Structure 1
Amino acid sequence: MKVTHFRHSCVLLETDSARLLVDPGVWSTGMEDLRDLDAILITHSHLDHFDGDRLTALAKGNPGAELIADPESAGEAAKLGLDVRAVRPGDAVELAGAVVDVVGGDHAVIHPELPLPPNVGYVVDHGAFYHPGDSLFVPEQKIDVLGLPTGAPWLKLGEAVEFYRAVAPRVAVPIHELTLSEAGIAMAYRRFDELGPGGARVEIPIAGTSIELT
């Protein structure tokens, strides 16, 4: 599995057969000119995960890519004139030979008075990579590489650590970091190293560069 982090929640996952882009949002950069994508996946409709302008441009530049999204994001994408497939927890889709299981369903609570969109997570190739979106849902699959949320209005550091421990991946790639200052990001990464599950390691790719996780 090759992983490229385009800042915040946007990652490109390259399996043996497929190129999958997840959550091209407004705070992510460097993915705008990607081509030869097999699919674009959206976890939920918040702007840091779903940017209509970028999504439209990516769909135009990758006419063969299938667009996969939670039901609310799918509705928004359809309004943009995009061909989109809505998925729900329990669904499984095959994308250029890669199997993606849809899990979760609920966005983490920000505040009891704030409405929340549906949120789905994506488990790629039976656990090779897990992107939870804005949730701390622990899937039933054994996860090899976890996209680990680092900072958010719905998250405190201790919760991120406990999620990391509960999923217990071989490797954690921190994502969803741009709600924090540089100092806050660095502190979170140190805590992940110190407090993560035994045998796991944290890999922090430079934005826009790929790392091979084997």
Structure 2
Amino acid sequence: MKLTHLGHACLLVETDDARLLLDPGTMSEFEMLTDLTAVLVTHQHPDHLDARRVAALLAANPAARLVVDPDTATAAVFPDAVVARPGERLTFGRTTVDVHGGLHAAVYGDVPGCTNSAYLIDDGALFHPGDSFAAPPGPVDVLAVPIDGPWLKLSEAVDYVRMVTPRAAVPIHEGETTDPAKYAGMLAAFSPAGVVRRVDEL
């Protein structure tokens, strides 16, 4: 599996027979991508789904399937989208995507919540939780770890890494911070030695 971080929560995942794009939002650069197998969206917030740019991306990748959570399915105008619900397994050739999670982490006070799908690729090769600290069902090789946002504090990200115990933890969701290297460094300082890595260090 090859990973490319395209900004904020957006990852390109390349397996032997699939090219999967996760969370192409407003803080990510993904327009140049071709030959996509699927676009997977964890939830409806614009930093995870830039609807206008994704529509253009799908037009340039007509074979790609769009996979969204239930609330995104009702909020965005993508009539052909596959709605992913926790407990389901999607297949793209030999590549599997299991859907977990269910809800976005609480943002603050009475701010409305929304559904959030976490995606487990190839039985634990990668776990992308979206905006949540969803627990994967078993061992995970690479964990995508959100490090900044109004719904989290960095100590929770550290606790998440320690709970999941992945071989590697890749910091994501850093688009709104002015110093993402500092946040990633603090995550690394309080996590088990050598676990927190950039995508290009995997």
**Which TM-score band applies after superposition, normalised by the shorter structure?**
over 0.9
What is the distance in 2 between the residues matched to 1:151 and 1:126?
27
What is the distance in 2 between the residues matched to 1:28 and 1:105?
24
Aligned to 2:158: 161
Aligned to 1:202: 196
Aligned to 1:20: 20
Query: Aligned with 1:13: secondary structure?
Result: strand
What is the distance in 2 between the residues matched to 1:159 and 1:21?
26
Instruction: Note the aligned Cα RMSD (angstroms).
Output: 1.4
Count residues in correspondence: 202
Cα deviation, residue 187, structure 1: 2.4
Query: How big is each residue's C-alpha offset from its partner over 1:109-149, in whole Å with a ceiling of 9 and x where there is no partner?
Result: 11121101100100000000010000011111211001110
Query: How big is each residue's C-alpha offset from its partner over 1:124-177, in whole Å with a ceiling of 9 and x where there is no partner?
Result: 000000100000111112110011101010010100100011111101111000
Aligned to 1:148: 145
Query: Aligned with 2:90: secondary structure?
Result: strand
Q: Which of 182, 187, 190 pairs up with 1:187?
A: 182
Cα deviation, residue 202, structure 1: 2.1
Report 1 or 2 for greater relative contact order, CA contacts < 8 Å, sequence distance ≥ 6: 1
Cα deviation, residue 212, structure 1: 7.7
What is the distance in 2 between the residues matched to 1:75 and 1:50?
14
**TM-score, normalization by structure 1:** 0.90
Structure 2, unmatched stretches of 5+, are none
Change (3 A) 1:212 1:63: farther
Query: How big is each residue's C-alpha offset from its partner over 1:51-81, in whole Å with a ceiling of 9 and x where there is no partner?
Result: 111110111011111111101112234x24x
Q: Which of 173, 176, 183 pairs up with 2:173?
A: 176
Report the residue type matching 2:195 in the other structure: R
Aligned to 1:47: 46
What is the distance in 2 between the residues matched to 1:197 and 1:165?
7
Cα deviation, residue 186, structure 1: 2.4
Identity %: 45
